[in-house]
Amino acid sequence: MFKLFAACFALWLGVCAAHAEIWGFIDDKGVGHFSATKEDARYELFSKEISPEPAPSQLGSGDESSPAATCTRPQLFGANLNCSPAPPSISPLSPKLAAFFESSQVLKNIKPHMQAAAHKYLLDVELLQALIAAESGFNVTAISPKGALGLMQLIPETAARYGVQGDRRTSQQQKLFDPYTNIHAGSHYLRDLLTLFKGQLDLALAAYNAGEGAVQKAGNKIPNYPETQNYVKTVTQMYAALKPPPPPVQAPPIVAPQPKPPAGPDPLRPTKGRANGLPLK
């Protein structure tokens, strides 16, 4: 999202509200850098909204994770497996963040690829946009210190699992720098993680960042890694900022009760002196 009903909406009993912040800066190459915390002096506050905190039972050791989300799409193949979970709250997009997204030519170019992947893998476009913003800041040729590549920062081993491998003509790195290939492989991976963790967006995002094994080893909770905890918050909070609020619920029209017609003679029973409309003899 996550995929959005109120600023203090309870996903579990004991949920309380906390400030959700998005910090960031745009470097001299036009690449966005975003975080749930102020990483250094370059970061400025892009957005500050209200977002729910999870109940203690959902937290890892020393963790302040984002809440496990609830799916909002139709359940075609089983509960909570086939949808983008809703973001945690209604968070209007801040003017600074909106200006960055509106001015990003890369975002305009890749939007059709995000829409196609979102449709194919039953994800929200806003979720993909939030994840790409956090992963690469829309830098098509981004390379992380750990060797993750492209818009959705796929490591070579993960990309190979989804059929992205080098050949004699094109290296794997070049293929992952292609927006269509990168977005479709990354979206497929995110969908599989949502399925693995039964629609819990926070766990799927934690696994995207730290690996499925790290989440499972932590007892299906967000691992106690500061980078992963910050990553989950950043993506979910930006997803909430990007996701438009649902349309207002329309009350059904009030229909006045219709008066019942007066009871008449039973057409199947003869009335006095007549048999089904014929005089009695």
The catalytic residue positions are: 135
Whether 90 contacts 209, CB under 8 Å = no
Q: CB-based contacts of 30: which residues, under 8 Å, 6+ apart?
A: 104
Cα dihedral across residues 157, 163, 168, 170: positive or negative = negative
Locate 197 and state its tokens. 């963790």
DSSP 189-250: HHHHHHHHTTT-HHHHHHHHHH-HHHHHHTTSS--S-HHHHHHHHHHHHHHHHHSPPPPPPP
* d(C-alpha 236, C-alpha 52), whole Å: 11
User: CA-to-CA distance for 172 and 34, rounded, in angstroms?
Assistant: 27
Distance CA 23, CA 158 (A): 29
Q: Is 162 exposed, middle or buried (CB count within 10 Å of its CB: 0-12, 13-18, 19+)?
A: middle
Burial of 98 (0-12, 13-18, 19+ CB in 10 A): middle
Residues 185 and 164 sit within 8 Å (Cβ to Cβ): yes
